[in-house]
Structure 1
Amino acid sequence: MTAGARNYAIVTASYWGFTLTDGALRMLVLLYFFQLGYSPFTLAFLFLLYEAAGVGANMVGGWLAARFGVTRMLMTGLATQITGFLVLSAVSPDWAIALSVAWVVAAQGVCGVAKDLTKTASKSAIKVAEAQARRDAGESRLFRWVAFFTGSKNAMKGFGFFLGGVLLQTLGFSQALWTMAGALAIVLAFVFLALPRDMGKAKASRSAKELFAKSRGVNLLAGARVALFGARDVWFVVGVPVFLYANGWTFTMVGGFLAAWTIGYGAVQAVAPSVVKRSPDGLSSEVDGARAWSLGLAAVPALIAAALASGIGRPDLVLVLGLGVFGVAFAVNSSVHSYLILAYAGSEKAAEDVGFYYAANAAGRFGGTLLSGLLYQAGGILACLLGSAVLLAVCFLVTLALPRGPAAQAAT
């Protein structure tokens, strides 16, 4: 195994451990506070700082990763997540609602910073490791490596949803968080011992203007990412679990379904390179694929909304089947985007480009989370689905402007 392949395997395994606990955290918070009687909008509000913190964390994290190396930033993200778990574990059902909400939002903000520091460092490490492996083996593995990393980490997130439900039921809220903090401490020690300390270190931008002045491809892809992830979370964060519970599903059934969906979604992402036509320049066919899959995806939530409005079949089954179709198209779309950002990014400042892109990703999640609570409270699942369709139409329109040729790629 080459040094590049070894580092890729270590980063992937470390991020699996992080993502497993991150998925469990989301289910723990959602189910625990829903049990306590919190409204859909309040549940969405609990996640807002988690998502908002990710915007700044990605921007600063990309710069810090270039300045100090991706290994140090990966370790910082893991340590921050452990801190967030310990802070969150102190919340008590005996507290006043206002204090509980404020405490949880603040702790979630810490975890949001951790998530996006870790994601930015991990994705940047792939670019660095792949460049090293390409020098050793003489072939590009970027699309395959990105697809496997993205797909497998989402499968782990699905397992995390299930794990969160199991831990909540067997250990309780606080004990579950302590257990996850201990597991992450082991992952942190593994990263410290196994990865080169200066991996990915480069000359960082010296001004804020330079930090935001990205290539046209990176800027447009970031805009498409805002709309894409907003379109997912506008119905996935609050709408789907609350709707299914209101239609007779138990917490275990809801958590199990979300876990199965996310695992399947990750599996599709992992095989995306086999369903997207490849081009010798690494961009032309891939950009065309992003456009085609975005257009098809935009129709899915609109069709689900039409089926629900017409009263065809059981509402919960219609939503579940529609979500399955949505998941396949969304997974391919997301995987192509994840490849394109690394194709557009330059090796010298890959961490900054990736950080900027995932700041847009976090902004989309933030907007989708907020809209999920607001739209579900205002118009139920139909309003969430129509909001998703509008955002996906915007995503498609932005992808039409993506550059397609080799000249669009940053110097490597």
Structure 2
Amino acid sequence: MTAPKPSALPAYIAVTAAYWAFMLSDGALRMLVLLAFHERGFSPVQLAYLFLLYELAGVITNLSAGWLAARFGLTRTLYAGLILQVGALLALTALDPAWSIGASVAYVMAVQGASGVAKDLAKMSSKSAVKLLAPEGAGLLKWVSWLTGSKNAVKGLGFLLGAGLLALYGYNTALLGMAAILALILVALLFFMPDGLPKGNKATKFSTVISRDKNINRLSAARVFLFGARDVWFVVGIPVYFYAVLSDGSDESRRAAFFMIGTFMAVWIILYGAVQAMAPRILRKGANDLGRLSASARQWALALVPIPALLAITVSTAGAPAPWLTVTLVLGLLVFGAIFAVNSALHSYLILAFSKSERVSQDVGFYYMANAAGRLLGTGLSGLAYQWGGVEACLMVASGLLALSAVAANRLNRSKA
């Protein structure tokens, strides 16, 4: 794999290390909040509400983060993300169990909104840095795939970490521990972050965040539906379904359910990250051909469409939960994750390939705004679909969203690419 220039390598390592730490805490926090509040009696729709502002904040943040980075510099936006995440973790410890469900939902939504801003500031900063620090062409595809894949593997470990910390140490202790670790990383970065990232240009106007490139807009539309299709079952449907199947209400079965759900979510994300890292080899035939990679985006989206539909039919015909059904869902969703990972890695490469170096932070911010919009769509639909028709409804909605993603990807202008 072609390395960045030696002068850029320290900055690349620093950005990657900070991003890994951030994603570990982000995955852990997501699992902590989901399982802790499901235990407190929140309905599937209320659980979805806890993440809605988190995703909405991501939409707004990504729309403005590209401008913020272009104006104030990528290093400052990375620092801001870490500071906000530490604050969000500490704020969640202030939640009083005596509050009503309505007050708890409102408070956690607000704090999750701040966490959503933090995550997307860090992600936009890191992905933009890759475009500026890594080599072009096939080398760019490899470095993007590696960063994205390793990030998702770390986030997958975060899901397992969050479930384990909740089971072993409880809600508040887990949050305080994660806040302390992130604060130490922030202090280390403040002292040791090398030069190498753009410092910003205060003359940059906010209007530049809106992309006028048709390829970027079409790719962003495909991203909305792709991530909506994942989160419609991932956020609420599958964790709540597995908790109902695996726990009988006793303390021992609850702890076991936490670990099993956390393990599944972690394995899914780690597999997703591992396949993303291998995407250049999977896409080897067209790794140096931007037009061919643009054309393959539709094919990879279509390959996903039947998987959730077949799983939904299986759940519906089974009639009741059973061990074989749980195993089928796990295996089917792991296959989904592998194909989904190639789609995601391909998109992540295409957005950087289509972007111009002089406005990379704006284009990447706009694209990840679409990514966050997809997660927002999927999160809202996850609670509603599960409340209406269980996990099979979540899976059928996912299949429909994937078909829309394929339609949007099919409109990429391959001759221009």
* TM-score where L is the length of structure 1: 0.93
User: What are the residue-to-residue correspondences of 1:75-114 with 2, within 5 Å?
Assistant: 75-114=79-118
| 2:166 is aligned with 1:180 | no
Residue-by-residue CA offset, 1:173-196 (whole Å, 9 max, x unaligned) = 112111111111122123223334
Partner of 1:165: 163
Matched, 1:297 2:298: no
* Alpha-carbon shift at residue 129 of structure 1 (Å): 0.9
Aligned pairs for 1:1-400 (under 5 A) are 2-131=6-135, 141-196=139-194, 199-203=197-201, 206-248=204-246, 250-279=257-286, 282-311=289-318, 314-400=324-410
Change (3 A) 1:160 1:344: same
Distance of 1:227 and 1:259 partners within structure 2: 23
1:278 CA drift (Å): 4.6
Q: Following TM superposition, by how much is the alpha carbon of 1:148 offset from its aligned partner in structure 2, in angstroms?
A: 0.7
Contact 2:124 2:364 in 1 (8 A): yes
Deviation track 1:26-45 (CA, whole Å, cap 9, x = no partner) reads 01101111111111111111
Q: Is the 8 A contact 2:301 2:405 kept in 1?
A: yes
Partners of 2:190 and 2:125 lie apart in 1 by 14
Look up the equivalent residue of 2:244 and give its one-letter code. Answer: A
Shift in Å at residue 74 of structure 1? 0.5
The 8 Å contact of residues 72 and 197 in structure 1, kept in 2 or not, is answered as no
Greater shift in the superposed pair: 154-163 or 305-314: 305-314
Letter in 2 for 1:363: A
Residue 107 of structure 1: CA displacement? Answer: 0.5
Q: Determine the C-alpha separation between the residues in 1 that align with 2:142 and 2:196.
A: 25
Structure 1 unmatched ranges of 5 or more:
none
Show CA shifts across 1:180-225 (max 9, x none).
1111112212322333457134547854543213311111111000
Contact between 2:208 and 2:362, CA under 8 Å: does it hold in 1?
no
2:132 and 2:357 in contact (8 A); partners too: yes
Shift of 1:84: 0.8
User: For 1:399 and 1:91, how far apart are their aligned partners in 2?
Assistant: 43
- Cα deviation for residue 47 of structure 1 reads 0.6
**8 A Cα contact 2:74 2:199, kept in partner:** yes
**Native 8 Å contact 1:308 1:318 kept in 2:** no
Please give the secondary structure, in 2, of the residue aligned with 1:271: helix
5+ long unaligned stretches in structure 2: 248-256
Superposed displacement of residue 171, structure 1:
2.3
Query: Are the structure 2 counterparts of residues 333 and 59 from structure 1 closer, same or farther at C-alpha, using a change threshold of 3 Å?
Result: same
Deviations 1:361-396 (A, max 9, x none): 000000100000000000011111110001000000
> For each residue in 1:84-125, what CA deviation from the matched residue of structure 2 results, as whole angstroms up to 9, or x when unmatched?
111111102122222211111111010000011111111001
Offset of residue 246 of structure 1: 1.7
- Could you tell which deviates more after superposition, 58-67 or 95-104? 95-104
- Shifted more, 369-378 versus 122-131: the winner is 122-131
Structure 2: which amino acid aligns with 1:28? L
Q: Aligned partners of 1:206, 1:187: CA distance in 2, in Å?
A: 30
How far 1:279 moved relative to its partner? 3.9
SS at match of 1:93: coil
1:57–1:359 CA contact under 8 A, matched in 2:
yes
Which shifted more, 4-13 or 377-386? Answer: 4-13
Structure 1 vs Structure 2: percent identity of aligned residues? Answer: 50
* Whole-angstrom CA distance in 1 between matches of 2:275 and 2:196: 33
1:290-335 alpha-carbon deviations (Å, 9 max, x no partner): 2211110111111111222232973212211110110110011001
TM-score, normalised relative to structure 2: 0.92
Residue in 1 that maps onto 2:254: none
| Cα separation, 1, equivalents of 2:358 and 2:42 | 47
Distance 1:210 1:392 in 2: 30
